[in-house]
Amino acid sequence: MSLQLKFWGVRGSLPSAPSPQKRSQAVEDVLRQFFSSGFREPAQISQFIESLEVAVLGGYGVATTCVEIQSAHQQLIIDGGSGIRNLSESLSKGKTKFSAGPYHIFMTHFHWDHVIGLPFFAPHFLPGHEIHYYGVQAELEKLIRGLFQKPYFPVPFEALSAKIHFHVLEPRKACKIGDITITPYQLDHPDPCWGLRVEAGGKVYSHCVDTEGTRVSREEMGADLPLYQGTDLMYFDAQYTFPELAEKANWGHSAAQVGLDIAFREKIKKVLFTHHDPGADAHQVQELKRQTAEYYDSRLKKAQQNKESLSPIDWNFVHEGFEIKL
Ligand SMILES: [Zn+2]
Ligand SMILES: [Zn+2]
């Protein structure tokens, strides 16, 4: 195994759960589907459930950005959105060989949806634990300290029991944590946000969230082009529909079609779309998926007509808790 990833939070901007009314409606839809599929008996429920996509049944998730990466010998965390609380819980149960730390948390930027879970990452409060924070922003330490501060949070930074270290990274310069190499590249976002190219055992993961994807050509991407090259999996911001991109210019988020264009050109094998809008329920994300499939098919068809070679891409919209091995 070279790289194993788990997506603990995939929502953008704000944690967001469907209302009880919407949840009731979703249960009703699933029950209707059960009977219309010809099932009748309680004993058939498991078979029916297994036949459905997780996101069709359970939606895309509530928690904001947090990705856990494991190599053979190392664990990294990218961003501390509300998803980090569930990761913290799994670590405290000692379920992985990385439970005792030290923990390495890479920050892309400091918008609320990427930091809101950090005060709930339990190792901060445990003596004998060590946490390393990494980020390109020179004010990294000040920004993290600011999260543990009254009246926003009852425990001040000075009272935390863990040993906490800060590492300011140089843009576009690789750093090594155990057997993983990480290089930050700039994304297209209103407050500077740094994507990460993560490499181990010959596999490459490209973390491209939050980004508007305004620089599309290789020339425009310039020094940040390596983020998108030779990658096995690209994790890409697809909060909006393609038409919404024009309405929401400079909001810092993109659409799946932009990600597919990059992936086709750079021959990226797998793409996961993320940063789902807080207002989007499962049906709306599935509608984005349908529009993306239409675009994907039309690109392949056009290439076939023009006798161009276009490598297929294995793409999907990610849901909370999704795991993948590269
Ligand atoms: Zn965000
Ligand atoms: Zn942001």
Residues of the chain predicted below pLDDT 50: none
CA of 253 to the centre of ligand 1 (A): 8
ω into 18 cis (within 30 of 0): no
CA of 132 to the centre of ligand 2 (A): 22
CA of 114 to the centre of ligand 2 (A): 7
Smallest-distance ligand from the CA of 116: 1
Q: Are 205 and 69 in contact (CB under 8 A)?
A: yes
CA of 312 to the centre of ligand 2 (A): 30
| pLDDT single digits (tens) 149-167 | 999 999 999 999 999 999 9
Cα separation, 274 vs 319, in Å, equals: 8
CA of 113 to the centre of ligand 2 (A): 7
Name the DSSP class of 148.
S
CA of 298 to the centre of ligand 2 (A): 31
Please give the full DSSP string across 10-24, using - where no structure is assigned.
-B-SS-----HHHHH
CA of 275 to the centre of ligand 1 (A): 7
- Residue 258 identity (one-letter amino acid): V
Q: Is 83 helix (H, G, I), strand (E, B) or coil?
A: coil
Nearest CA to 135 out of 179, 225, 195, 85 is that of: 195
Task: Say how far residue 302 (Cα) sits from the centre of its chain.
Answer: 31
Tokens at 297, concatenated: 């098919």
CA of 210 to the centre of ligand 2 (A): 5
| pLDDT at residue 1, as a whole number | 62
Contacts of 217 (CB under 8 A, 6+ apart): none
> What is the pairing mode between strands 233-237 and 203-208?
parallel
Cα separation, 219 vs 19, in Å, equals: 45
Smallest-distance ligand from the CA of 109: 2
CA of 81 to the centre of ligand 1 (A): 9
CA of 41 to the centre of ligand 2 (A): 47
| pLDDT at residue 94, as a whole number | 78
| pLDDT at residue 95, as a whole number | 72
Cα separation, 80 vs 108, in Å, equals: 10
Tokens at 62, concatenated: 């509530």
Q: Which residues pair with 163 in a beta bridge?
A: 130
CA of 186 to the centre of ligand 2 (A): 13
Smallest-distance ligand from the CA of 113: 1
Cα separation, 60 vs 322, in Å, equals: 10
CA of 104 to the centre of ligand 1 (A): 20
CA of 193 to the centre of ligand 1 (A): 10
CA of 64 to the centre of ligand 1 (A): 8
Smallest-distance ligand from the CA of 65: 1
CA of 247 to the centre of ligand 2 (A): 17
Please give the full DSSP string across 29-55, using - where no structure is assigned.
HHHHHHHHTT--SGGGHHHHHHTS-HH
**How many other C-beta atoms lie within 10 A of the C-beta of residue 159?**
10
Cα separation, 142 vs 165, in Å, equals: 12
Tokens at 84, concatenated: 């980090």
Cα separation, 212 vs 229, in Å, equals: 18
Q: Are 247 and 211 in contact (CB under 8 A)?
A: no
Q: Is the pTM of this model over 0.85?
A: yes
CA of 86 to the centre of ligand 1 (A): 18
| pLDDT single digits (tens) 262-293 | 999 999 999 999 999 999 999 999 999 999 99
CA of 313 to the centre of ligand 2 (A): 26
Tokens at 323, concatenated: 């795991």
